[in-house]
Structure 1
Amino acid sequence: MTQGKISVANKAPGMEGQQQANGSSSYENGFPAGDHELFTTFSWDDQKVRRVFIRKVYTILLIQLLVTLGVVALFTFCDPVKDYVQANPGWYWASYAVFFATYLTLACCSGPRRHFPWNLILLTIFTLSMAYLTGMLSSYYNTTSVLLCLGITALVCLSVTVFSFQTKFDFTSCQGVIFVLLMTLFFSGLILAILLPFQYVPWLHAVYAVLGAGVFTLFLAFDTQLLMGNRRHSLSPEEYIFGALNIYLDIIYIFTFFLQLFGTNRE
């Protein structure tokens, strides 16, 4: 799920021809330059390109979040739909399989991710499957809890986004720290999954939820600054699908961890 978040490449679009003209090497700072790189360490000279790229990413992200919010509201407020999805867990696992397959395709394959209309088709399927997973999870919690966690998530994400655009601190240079925290989260979840069939430990689950919310809040700051183009590493302007995909996942995971932390199960 975090594939591509902490990998680095160095060539900006259009730099290859300049390097060949100058007779320079195709390597910069030890990283090979190629035509299908995900990241670049060069800032974009054309401010219009950057603005169009950011606008495109956030337009796609807004549509994804509205679709997800609609599904969550349907699964939370509509009792027949809520009862149906809870009575048929097979749809959950089918949605999870679709989510995983489409994510791997979009994250690992630059061809489908960059070519219209396949990129939008795959992203639509990915968004619908993730919306179903989030909606089903929300259906097990009290309506007030879901609304509270939605509000907290919105405030946190808005604050982190504004902070990431304004701060001089470069989150894209902290890949090692984020990776360590991610591994800590992974092994904590593994231990929790092993203990859960034998005994539920509330404080351990709360620690896991806090850690998860913190890690993906850092990922949100990291992914936001990748869009900006004026940090150590930045996302290629061709990767608007990948940018929207990562930020959308960060927000969804922040919401689900807040739901685990503050949510109250339905009676």
Structure 2
Amino acid sequence: MFFTKNFAGLLVFATAAVARISSTASVGAVSRFSNFALSPDDTSSQFAFTSCTTVVSSVPDLSGNVQNATDDFQLAEVTLLENEYPQSLASEGFELLTYAIKPNGDGTGTATTVFLIGGVTNDNLTSFVQSWDGITANGSTAVWTIGEVVCTVARVTCNFVMSPTPAVSNITDAGNDLLDAQIFQILDQFPFTTSVLSDNDAIAANTDGSYNATSSLQAGNVTNDELLPFANSWVGETISGEEAQWFVEAGSCVEQQD
């Protein structure tokens, strides 16, 4: 189950009490398609996450109406995913966030979509979406021709000792707020990112009020070479959540291994 929460123009969605998927998408022509069969406290399913961009064209030509074009192309994407992953889309959580198609002036448009699908690996999902290069797919109104698909996601895991000011005694509240703090940092540093998915793999309270947290951080349209040094730079600094300021006492981040 997804719930939405507004943060000064951000769209923030949660798959569980300790997970966040966020984007800088404005309301505009962005299309969102989701179905979450999971309860908010069910974290048993693993989610594949990727962000992909391609050049598309449609017959008939829908480029004159960006909203209609974006909605129809997303339906074509959903159909492709349903055919490949029927079990995942029927019984697992999934989310597609398709950004407004940008017309290229020649009848084509550049489309960017963020995918979040349960029960699938990152490698499998990315390979499948990239295999769309050169195929046609049906929306409800048009037939879409899809060009080369490029998927880019940075994935790092961070182990930090973090101290909140003011103190946060509830471990669930602490986990949510420190995720917010990490997300805000990434979105501020990389305004071009399509989305950020973060999750607390583990969190434990210390007797001095600090927390040991292991966080998975993934950012669309960002590379590991960009995200990894930035996340490591938080050590010795204070980052801000909604409820507290978090001083990152110690720790480090490494690239995730799928």
Same fold at TM > 0.5: no
Q: TM-score, normalised by structure 2?
A: 0.28
More strand per residue: 2
Q: TM-score, normalised by structure 1?
A: 0.28
Structure with max Cα Rg = 1
